[in-house]
Structure 1
Amino acid sequence: MHDTAAAITALKSRLGSRVCIMGHHYQNDAVVRHCDITGDSLELARRVPDITADHIVFCGVYFMGESAVLLAKAGQQVHLPAPDADCAMSLMSPAESARAVLRQLHDGGRRVIPVAYVNTTLALKAVVGEFGGTVCTSANARTVMRWALDQGQGVLFLPDRHLGRNVGKQLGLGPDDWHLLELGADGLSPAERDPAHRLWKTPLLLWPGCCPIHDHLTVEQIAAARAAHPGCLVMAHPECRPEVIDLCDGAGSTSFLINEAARLAAEKPGSTLIVGTETNLVDRLGERHAGSCTVLPLGPAICPDMGKVTEKNLLATLQAIETGTAEPLEVDQALCPPARQTLTRMLEICAAS
């Protein structure tokens, strides 16, 4: 491992400004230490347009690489050290299924605004763009959903039902204001196609997807944490189940959780923070604030796809760039204009808020 790390450092030095390595917070420490830019999905999306390097090496899952391609400058190449690193949540909202649902809703008189979590495929983002929608991240979901609701036509939030419900509750929506789609083989279920069905008037429609990693965190784990660490604070990512979030002292994006850990370490030394999100990030926060604040995971939550990015395949990617044999991420160019529009619309909404 030491030899691999040294080889990466030497390669980065030789490649210089030609390469920029980006990494999501859920990457392991061995990879993160080589990144020039780290962040959550929103921060990384914001940073891509300002990168001047010829090559962007994205340490994350596939949809993140696609987003980087959409936001990169003409001529820039985006490389994924682990092209097989996918996102289970992103696969829960097939583009054609979403198009069928949106078409059925529109044909029935419900011109809802689709809001897709950024954890979705390029094809799904293109469908959302076609129907006048946008994307969001966990950091700006509240702002984006507020914008969509203000259009007065209702919102279809996909694919994460937990994030959709949690944000809806923050905006004052109750159980009568949201409906979890049942879905049939070709779009809405037969029952949902009935004009008398509640979905035709419900402000918030939720796609039946979730993040399997955050979905596994439970209220029982919160009870156990509070029993083991009296006086502790519990915070979690809003991809967790609503009943979990209801019992937390705070909830927010990865950047929010990072900032809260730093705040506690500075303002309440000796305190204990239990964090419900991907364990690589929690462990890193624990090491960062050791001696000031104890940071512990709510439960085991390792994303196997994020773990597919390693120092070994990062090194191989850099070597291929140096020798001119690297194969950059290629996307369907026909999907890019509407998909890119969803990302730029998100950034514009947030800039105006």
Structure 2
Amino acid sequence: MEKSVDTIHRIKEAMGDNLAILGHHYQSDDVVALTDIRGDSLELSRRISSLDAEHIVFCGVYFMAESAAILQRSGQKIYIPDITATCPMADMADAKRVEKTLEILQSNGRKVIPLTYVNSSAAVKGVVGRFDGSVCTSANAERMLKWACEQGDSVLFLPDKHLARNTAHALGIPLEKQLVQPEGIKEGVVDLFVDSKVADDKELIIWPGYCPIHEEFTLKSIQTIRLNEPDAHIVVHPECAPEVVAASDGHGSTTFLIKYASEAPSGSTVYIGTEENLVNRLAQQFKSEKTIKPLAVSRCDDMGKTTIHNLANLLENIHETVPVTVAEEIREPAKWALERMLKVCA
């Protein structure tokens, strides 16, 4: 590992401002220590066009690198250390099925606006863009769902059913106006069985995807903490199930969780329900002031595919490595979807 770290430092120094290494909060401490910029997926992608660097390495999962490639300036190149680092939630929404679902839902003349979580493929974002939809993050989901509801008769929210339900609750959309599609797994992809008549009176149609990492956090674990440590604070990511969010003291994006940990009173105990790498980093950062613990042990294997070794290998061969690209017929409408969000949230 030491040799790989030395290699990375040497190449970073040699390439200077022509190289930028970006790292998601869920990366390991070893990788994060070598990044130039860290943040959540969209935070990082939004930085792309303002960077002077020609070569941009995205330490995260593939949909994040795709988002960066959608927003990149001409001449910039996006790389990812391991192209097999995918996102199980993103993989639960297939672009062709999303398009077919929208066609069925709109077959009776209703205007259905698609709103996709940023945790989705470029191809899905492209479909959403072509159907006049947009993108949201965990931080702006309420604002974007409110916007989407104002654009048509109903909204198709994908791929995260938990973020959809939690956001709908915050906006006061009643359960009887929501439809969570039944889920059936075929070749690893969630299939939807849409009946447009069933959806006719719904304000929100919800794709049945979910994050396997945040699915690990349960109401029972919160109840146990409440019983044994009644003074402890509990905050979770909105990708958690609605009953988990409802039982917590707060919920929000990784930026919210980091801020909550930072501002928690000295001497307090805070349990955080999100990917363990971030929680452990916060625990180390504030160990002399407060106690921060993971709500449950839950690590993303795909985030873990980025290592010091494959990062060093990428940098050593960066001029021969094929960058992440998005076909223009997908990139253009996907960019429309992202730009609509950026405009609404400006």
Q: How does 1:116-195 map to 2 (within 5 A)?
A: 116-182=116-182, 189=193, 192-193=195-196, 195=197
Q: Give me the whole-angstrom Cα distance separating, in 2, the residues matched to 1:274 and 1:183.
A: 31
Deviation of the 1:330 alpha carbon: 2.6
Match of 2:239 in 1: 239
Q: Give me the whole-angstrom Cα distance separating, in 1, the residues matched to 2:153 and 2:79.
A: 39
The TM-score, its normalising length taken from structure 1, stands at 0.94
Q: Give me the whole-angstrom Cα distance separating, in 2, the residues matched to 1:40 and 1:325.
A: 28
Correspondence for 2:296 among 290, 299, 314: 299
| Structure 2 CA distance for partners of 1:262 and 1:207, relative to 1, 3 Å | same
> Quick check: 1:312 aligned with 2:316?
no
What one-letter code is carried by the residue in structure 2 that aligns with 1:224? Answer: T
Answer whether contact 2:111 2:152 (CA < 8 A) is retained.
Answer: no
Name the SS of the counterpart of 2:172 in structure 1: coil
What one-letter code is carried by the residue in structure 1 that aligns with 2:270? Answer: L
| CA deviation map 1:204-253 (0-9, x unaligned) | 11001100110121011112223343300000000000000010000000
Q: Give me the whole-angstrom Cα distance separating, in 2, the residues matched to 1:2 and 1:66.
A: 30
User: Quick check: 329-338 or 208-217, which moved more?
Assistant: 329-338
Q: Give me the whole-angstrom Cα distance separating, in 1, the residues matched to 2:204 and 2:218.
A: 25
Q: Give me the whole-angstrom Cα distance separating, in 1, the residues matched to 2:183 and 2:30.
A: 42
Q: Give me the whole-angstrom Cα distance separating, in 1, the residues matched to 2:228 and 2:29.
A: 28
Name the SS of the counterpart of 2:129 in structure 1: helix
List gaps (5 residues or longer) in structure 1: none
What one-letter code is carried by the residue in structure 2 that aligns with 1:275? Answer: I
Q: Give me the whole-angstrom Cα distance separating, in 1, the residues matched to 2:10 and 2:192.
A: 54
Deviation of the 1:326 alpha carbon: 2.0
Deviation of the 1:9 alpha carbon: 1.2
Task: Determine what percentage of the aligned residue pairs are the same residue.
Answer: 44
Q: How does 1:1-353 map to 2 (within 5 A)?
A: 1-182=1-182, 189=193, 192-193=195-196, 195=197, 197=198, 199-264=199-264, 268-321=265-318, 324-351=319-346
Answer whether contact 1:42 1:139 (CA < 8 A) is retained.
Answer: no
What one-letter code is carried by the residue in structure 2 that aligns with 1:348? Answer: K
Q: Give me the whole-angstrom Cα distance separating, in 2, the residues matched to 1:330 and 1:151.
A: 31
| Structure 2 CA distance for partners of 1:348 and 1:253, relative to 1, 3 Å | same
Q: Give me the whole-angstrom Cα distance separating, in 2, the residues matched to 1:10 and 1:229.
A: 48
Coordinate RMSD, CA, aligned? 1.5
| CA deviation map 1:8-35 (0-9, x unaligned) | 1121111101100011100000000111
Q: Give me the whole-angstrom Cα distance separating, in 1, the residues matched to 2:191 and 2:214.
A: 27
| CA deviation map 1:37-66 (0-9, x unaligned) | 100123112212211101000000000000
| Structure 2 CA distance for partners of 1:330 and 1:42, relative to 1, 3 Å | closer
Q: Give me the whole-angstrom Cα distance separating, in 1, the residues matched to 2:228 and 2:44.
A: 36
Answer whether contact 2:166 2:242 (CA < 8 A) is retained.
Answer: yes
What one-letter code is carried by the residue in structure 1 that aligns with 2:21? Answer: I
| CA deviation map 1:144-194 (0-9, x unaligned) | 11111122421110000000000000001121121101268997637x24x
Name the SS of the counterpart of 1:27 in structure 2: coil
Name the SS of the counterpart of 1:200 in structure 2: coil
Answer whether contact 1:100 1:187 (CA < 8 A) is retained.
Answer: no
Answer whether contact 1:214 1:278 (CA < 8 A) is retained.
Answer: yes
User: Quick check: 218-227 or 162-171, which moved more?
Assistant: 218-227
Answer whether contact 1:104 1:187 (CA < 8 A) is retained.
Answer: no
Q: Give me the whole-angstrom Cα distance separating, in 2, the residues matched to 1:67 and 1:46.
A: 9
